[in-house]
């Protein structure tokens, strides 16, 4: 690797910031390590207040021209970015797999195509954005969406490019300029996105990427007086700091935070489907904010559900995420592995029972052999299901963000809903039932931003997305994204007062 470039599986990645259309280095760097094999992927420019302010200044300078760019031209450029993503789809998939440990097959088949779709969708939505004029006593009301200004977008490490473009695409479509701050554990595809955007013809300063630690540059970005919108995805403690920083200038914020979502399995459900839905929660090694980590099963079918679940879980293959046969890859970082393991150990000490899993993959039996046959162990944590957990226990109430599920039973709808809603979070919920009337009754009572019935993780960009309670503030997606990234204006015109222009 050179001083400012690295190569990941044959793909060249610039390790500097992208500010105002130029690559900018920092005096210091941080080391990006792959969770796949522990290799050093690169030394990444470690942003300071200087680079953070420069990025905001570049976004501010580029804003007037970008805001004045006709909708059709903005849409054309967004589609060009989508084309660029599709041309480099394989490169993006490989780099992201090395950077965050998620399955390569998932990146190829679903994640990176969805990245391109994010840009195409909001390009199309921009051209459809309209509100019919309406009358008030002979006066005409016209609603418009005006670009708000520079936006700071802070994104997480579990789905780096997908969740970044979920914010970047609507912000750019809205006519805003962007400063993107990717997570320090997975910064590489954000750098590639900057190259793709430049290659697509996006004007300099419209999309800026600043890398570094949130503790060092976060407050500079979120507290900057020239920032007009902040969108953050991450933890509740960090969100509190973001909100406090933004409050100084009353900067609007959108916060997508953690979850402790339930999966409710009723006795009338298709138990094979319910077991499949439950096993699906181990996707991305459980590092999914939407994951239904609390399995709530009607008591009369709990034993049968558990049997079907464990049969399916036993077929999951844990290993190298580059291998197409792997179902569960590593977690992203040693600190994350320690966090997950700590949650499980404390739960077991508190009386929980591990039906499957319950130990680190690198633990050893008394005979000295590895507990699961994984070569090297690495950052793998096995799929785990815990029973015998108390409702107020840490493992039930706090987000683990790993392949760890709990199972509790209930005896009726009222108890099911009470248990489902009994957390500080409200991001999502999943319901398995064979009774449409029950589905309507239960979903109406659940506190969640998204509820799936007999399915999971079906996401349409036309729908609002966000959480209730500590799972977030605001909704994005479809027109809701434009409502956030724009200043909405209502212009009222009287019936008289026009000059006669013949």
CB 17 within 8 A of CB 55: yes
In this predicted structure, the answer to whether residue 422 has a pLDDT above a threshold of 70 is yes
The residues spanned by each domain of the chain are 5-257+471-490, 262-453
Q: Point out which residues pair with 296 in neighbouring strands.
A: 264, 408
Query: What mean pLDDT comes out for the span 347-354?
Result: 98
Give the per-residue pLDDT at 200: 98
C-alpha 267/C-alpha 412 separation (Å) is 10
Question: What band does 501 get if pLDDT is binned at 50, 70 and 90?
Answer: low
Centre a 10 Å sphere on the Cβ of residue 479 and count the other Cβ atoms it contains. Answer: 17
Quick one: pLDDT at residue 307? Answer: 98
Closest to 150 measured CA to CA, from 483, 485, 489: 485
Closest C-alpha among 229, 171, 198, 405 to residue 310: 405
If we measure between CA atoms, which residue out of 433, 396, 390, 428 comes closest to residue 413? 433
User: Which pLDDT score is estimated for 106?
Assistant: 97
DSSP string, 175-244: T--EEEE--TTS-HHHHHHHHHHHHTTPPTTSEEE--S-HHHHHHHHHT-TT--EEEEES-HHHHHHHHH
pLDDT of the residue at 27: 96
- Provide the pLDDT for residue 365: 34
- What is the percentage of the chain residues whose pLDDT exceeds 90? 94
- Who wins on pLDDT, 499 or 8? 8
Average pLDDT over residues 243-248: 97
Nearest-angstrom CA–CA distance, 383 and 402: 9
* Alpha carbons 259 and 470: distance in angstroms, whole number: 8
DSSP, collapsed to helix, strand or coil, labels residue 44 as strand
Q: Where are the beta strands (DSSP E) in 321-464?
A: 353-356, 384-387, 404-410, 425-426, 428-432, 450-453
> Whole-angstrom Cα distance, residue 276 to residue 374?
24
21 in the Ramachandran plot: left (φ > 0), alpha (ψ -120 to 50) or beta?
left
The pair of three-digit structure tokens given for residue 245, joined into one six-digit string: 């920083």
Q: Summarize the chain as % helix, strand, coil (round to 5).
A: 40, 20, 40
Q: How many residues does the chain have?
A: 502
pLDDT attached to residue 377: 46
Please list the residues that pair with 425 across neighbouring strands. Answer: 469
Question: Looking at residues 377-398, what average pLDDT do you find?
Answer: 94
Q: Is the pLDDT of residue 373 over 80?
A: no
Would you say 290 and 259 are in contact if contact means Cβ atoms under 8 Å apart? yes
What is the pLDDT at residue 431? Answer: 98
The pLDDT of residue 371 is above 60: no
- Distances in whole angstroms, Cα of residue 360 to Cα of each of 29, 334, 340: 31, 12, 9
pLDDT band at 502 (very low <50, low <70, confident <90, very high): low
Tell me 470's DSSP state.
Answer: T
Whose CA is closest to 284, among 85, 472, 111, 455? 111
For residue 386, pLDDT over 60 is answered with yes
Q: Please tell me the pTM assigned to this model.
A: 0.94
Q: What is the reported pLDDT for 2?
A: 67
Q: What is the mean pLDDT of the chain?
A: 95
What pLDDT does residue 369 have? 35
Q: What is the pLDDT of residue 135?
A: 96
DSSP state of 213: -
Statement: residue 248 has pLDDT above 70 = yes
Residue 498 pLDDT grade (very low, low, confident, very high; cuts 50, 70, 90)? confident
CATH superfamily of 5-257+471-490: Aldehyde Dehydrogenase; Chain A, domain 1 (3.40.605.10)
Q: Is 48 left (phi over 0), alpha (psi -120 to 50) or beta?
A: beta
Instruction: Give the closest residue to 242 by CA, choosing from 472, 461, 18, 483.
Output: 472
97-128 pLDDT, tens digit per residue, is: 999 999 999 999 999 999 999 999 999 999 99
What average pLDDT does range 289-316 have in this prediction? 98
233: tokens are 């995805």
Which range among 37-41, 52-56, 371-375 shows the weakest confidence by mean pLDDT? Answer: 371-375
> Could you tell me which of 463, 430, 468, 432 has the C-alpha nearest to residue 448?
468
Mean pLDDT of 410-423: 98
What angle is formed at CA 227 by the lines to CA 223 and CA 228, rounded to 5 degrees? 120
For residue 364, pLDDT beyond 70: no
**Residue 378 pLDDT:** 82
pLDDT of residue 370: 39
pLDDT per residue as tens digits for the range 141-178 = 999 999 999 999 999 999 999 999 999 999 999 999 99
| Cα distance between residue 291 and residue 329, in whole Å | 16
Q: Are 331 and 379 in contact (CB under 8 A)?
A: yes
- Residues 485/176, Cβ–Cβ less than 8 Å: yes
Q: Which amino acids are annotated catalytic?
A: 256, 289
Q: Which residue has the tokens 């050093």?
A: 40
> CB under 8 Å to 499, separation ≥6 — which residues?
none
* Domain 262-453: homologous superfamily in CATH: Aldehyde Dehydrogenase; Chain A, domain 2 (3.40.309.10)
Distances (CA, A) of 176 to 185, 364, 390, 489: 27, 54, 47, 16
Q: Which residue in the block uniquely carries the two structure tokens 């470039």?
A: 5
């Amino acid at each position: 690797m050179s001083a400012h470039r690295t190569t990941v599986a044959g793909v060249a990645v610039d390790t500097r910031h992208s500010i105002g259309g130029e690559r900018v280095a920092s005096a210091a760097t941080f080391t990006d390590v792959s969770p796949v094999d522990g290799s050093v992927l690169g030394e990444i420019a470690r942003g300071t207040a200087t680079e953070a302010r420069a990025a905001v200044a570049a976004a501010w300078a580029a804003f007037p021209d970008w805001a004045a760019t006709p909708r059709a031209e903005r849409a054309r450029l967004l589609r060009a970015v989508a084309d660029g993503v599709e041309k480099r789809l394989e490169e993006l998939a490989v780099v992201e797999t090395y950077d965050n440990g998620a399955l390569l097959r998932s990146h190829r088949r679903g994640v990176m195509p969805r990245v391109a779709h994010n840009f195409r969708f909001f390009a199309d939505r921009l051209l459809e954005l309209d509100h019919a004029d309406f009358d008030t006593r002979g006066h005409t009301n016209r609603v418009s969406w005006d670009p708000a200004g520079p936006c700071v977008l802070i994104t997480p490490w579990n789905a780096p490019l997908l969740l970044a473009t979920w914010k970047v695409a609507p912000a750019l479509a809205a006519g805003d300029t962007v400063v993107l701050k990717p997570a320090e554990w997975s910064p590489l595809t954000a750098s590639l996105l900057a190259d793709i955007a430049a290659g697509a013809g996006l004007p300099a300063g419209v999309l800026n990427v600043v890398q570094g630690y949130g503790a060092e540059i976060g407050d500079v970005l979120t507290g900057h007086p020239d920032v007009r919108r902040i969108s953050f995805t991450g933890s509740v403690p960090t969100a509190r700091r973001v909100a406090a920083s933004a409050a100084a200038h009353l900067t609007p914020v959108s916060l997508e935070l953690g979850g402790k979502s339930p999966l409710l399995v009723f006795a009338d459900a298709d138990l094979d489907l319910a077991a499949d839905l439950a096993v699906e929660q181990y996707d991305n090694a459980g590092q999914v904010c939407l994951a239904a980590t609390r399995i709530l099963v009607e008591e009369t079918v709990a034993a049968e559900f558990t049997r079907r679940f464990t049969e399916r879980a036993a077929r999951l293959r844990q290993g190298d995420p580059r291998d197409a046969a792997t179902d569960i890859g590593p977690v992203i970082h040693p600190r994350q592995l320690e966090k997950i393991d700590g949650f499980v150990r404390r739960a077991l000490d508190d009386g929980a029972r591990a039906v499957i899993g319950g130990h680190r993959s690198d633990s050893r039996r008394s005979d000295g052999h590895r507990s699961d046959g994984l070569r090297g162990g690495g950052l793998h944590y096995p799929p785990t299901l815990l029973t015998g957990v108390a409702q107020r226990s840490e493992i039930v109430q706090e987000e683990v963000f790993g392949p760890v599920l709990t199972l509790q039973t209930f005896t009726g709808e009222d108890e099911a809903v009470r248990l489902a809603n009994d957390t500080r979070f409200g991001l999502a919920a999943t319901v398995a039932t064979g009774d449409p009337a029950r589905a309507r009754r239960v979903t109406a009572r659940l506190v969640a931003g998204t509820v799936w019935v007999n399915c999971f993780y079906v996401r349409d960009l036309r729908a609002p997305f966000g959480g209730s309670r500590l799972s977030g503030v605001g909704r994005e997606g479809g027109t809701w994204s434009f409502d956030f990234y724009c200043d909405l204006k209502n212009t009222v015109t009287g019936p008289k007062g026009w000059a006669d222009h013949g």
